[in-house]
Structure 1
């Protein structure tokens, strides 16, 4: 079996993040976090379209009803009308934490949007993990986080995975699908402390294995359900940021990356920096992403 890594779209995203494959539309969405852009393309990178949102964007999820999305911005949660580009404010969960912004998020199997916040300069553990319910109420699930990243669930939804990128760990929680509550946080995997790697975006495949983008070292790591490393994919850029399975058969792994120079002590990338990559030939399939229930 041969693994192929191709550039899907070379658009030099400042901070590409949040790939989201929609099985209904057969389209790939992703964001450029720092500049407030959302992109959409076909599985092979055609029919590229973009939307602007009013501020930095951490993540997005499609809604069950109509052509719309819910987005996490630096000013809080908003609805986005994809037909008009208009946004509608929902709630700011952190009005008392102006340095923070909402970051990575995904929807659980019951239609709740789980999103973590982060400290704006990544220096303090002021972030929290939130749950936005379909009735638009907000609930705190965890706290004392520097940079929230990589939320995803086991195929059955009973285990929730999440990372504070600067903790050096990926965590697992017991997840109650009936209530959306988390418990029993434990270390699922540790990142190699001898490298500059940090756990960024993640997804789970249909076999229950976790795929994690290790930013700054250009690696996608597949973890077995017991947390051991099963496979490592070396990418052509160092600053890979997130992953998502998509395509007609959910067997293409889409990978986002960043074009910006993060800090001088971290590596710069070549001409393919900021691209969206399509990885094929992996021999596994993903799990369809849920839509927000409002």
Structure 2
């Protein structure tokens, strides 16, 4: 196994790596830096799009471009020009802010909602679904800081975290309706020293999660037992995604400056890749709208 720091843009708040198999390019965001980056491993080429405000999620669209969430709401993004189209606005000030999302096999976009009160966090966020017809539905409530949305390979289980309480939940997922039920505790990452941030699931059903503040990437079995822990060069690891031609490279985003007085480390905010894991990811779905 080998961990490599890549020659890619440094982020104040690196998040949301998303592999595009069609272009063999990795997209990721700098949330507090208000940027969308792309990186081509084969050439080392990078590109950056500036966003008008904090950007918190990016998923690709079937028809081209992406869906992004900003503090102002949900937008379509042209990945060539950077042009934005408002899909569903949030009021100002927002009652919550969207954070972290993924798409199911029917093309629905599930995204978390985090509290907008960062000084005194309250469980006023939740889980939301954007359908291809642009309808937004609240699926769950009582979430402080949303993270880690992803599915088991059969899509019968949906994983979703409240990072404020160090906990990833599992839900029963109904692929026919896009509904969730039977929320229960899946894992609590405080046992390995940090809180759950971005996550993905591999072809064998292992749940891979960036454990923020612990400097670790952890893999959990479907029964919630810990299968593997990888120590990263920096503490503020934020998200993970499989990519590369064979989907066997794990890309890891990191954060340069934390919000709770964490010391700045050399290499913080950089993009990393882990090779030789012996694991393989799955292609991420694209939003159908």
The residue aligned with 2:12 is 14
Aligned residue for 1:139? 137
| Secondary structure in 2 matching 1:192 | helix
**What is the aligned partner in structure 2 of residue 207 from structure 1?**
204
| Compared CA separation, residues 270 and 218, structure 1 to 2 (3 A) | same
Alignment of 1:117-156 (within 5 A): 117-120=113-116, 121=118, 123-156=121-154
> TM-score normalized by structure 2?
0.95
Which residue is 1:288 aligned to? 283
8 Å CA contact retained: 1:8, 1:44 = no
Structure 2: gaps spanning 5 or more residues: none
Match of 2:273 in 1: 278
Structure 1 unaligned blocks of 5 or more? none
**How far is 1:83 from its partner?**
2.1
Bigger CA drift: 38-47 or 106-115?
38-47
1:38-117 map, 5 Å? 38-44=36-42, 46-66=44-64, 68-92=65-89, 94-95=90-91, 98=94, 100-117=96-113
Report the secondary structure of 2:172's partner residue: strand
Change (3 A) 1:116 1:161: same
> 2: CA distance between counterparts of 1:70 and 1:40?
15
Q: Is 130-139 or 79-88 further displaced after alignment?
A: 79-88
Deviations 1:12-49 (A, max 9, x none): 20000000001111110000001211011112571100
Number of residue equivalences: 287
Contact 1:43–1:246 (CA<8 Å) still a contact in 2? no
Distance in structure 2 (CA, Å) of the matches to 1:21 and 1:126? 31
- In 1, Cα distance between the equivalents of 2:59 and 2:38? 13
Contact 1:61 1:292 in 2 (8 A): yes
**Structure 1 193/207 Cα, relative in aligned 2: closer, same or farther at 3 Å?**
closer
Report the 3-state secondary structure (helix = DSSP H, G, I; strand = E; otherwise coil) of the residue aligned with 2:223: coil
Residue 101 (structure 1) shift: 1.6
Offset, 1:97? 5.7
Query: Do the aligned partners of 2:103 and 2:287 also contact (CA within 8 Å) in 1?
Result: yes
Q: Match of 1:166, SS?
A: helix
Residues 23 and 178 from structure 1, CA distance in 2 versus in 1: closer, same or farther, beyond 3 angstroms? same
Residues 66-103 of structure 1, C-alpha deviations (whole Å, 9 max, x = no match):
3x1111111110011112211010112x4276263211
Q: What SS does structure 2 have at the residue aligned with 1:178? A: coil
> Counterpart in 2 of 1:222?
219
* Contact 2:162 2:168 survives alignment (8 Å): yes
Q: In the aligned structure 2, how far is the partner of 1:44 from the partner of 1:148?
A: 33
Counterpart for residue 177 of structure 1: 175
Task: Quote the Cα distance in structure 1 between the aligned partners of 2:231 and 2:79.
Answer: 35
What is the CA–CA distance in structure 2 between the aligned matches of 1:108 and 1:174, rounded to whole Å?
Answer: 14
Q: Distance in 1 between matches of 2:238 and 2:51?
A: 20
Aligned to 2:164, the other structure's residue is in SS state helix
CA–CA separation in structure 2 for the residues paired with 1:45 and 1:143: 43
For the aligned residue pairs, the C-alpha RMSD in angstroms reads: 1.5
- Contact kept in structure 2, 1:105 and 1:114, CA below 8 Å: yes
Tell me if structure 1 keeps the 8 A contact 2:39–2:45.
Answer: yes
TM normalised by structure 1 equals 0.94
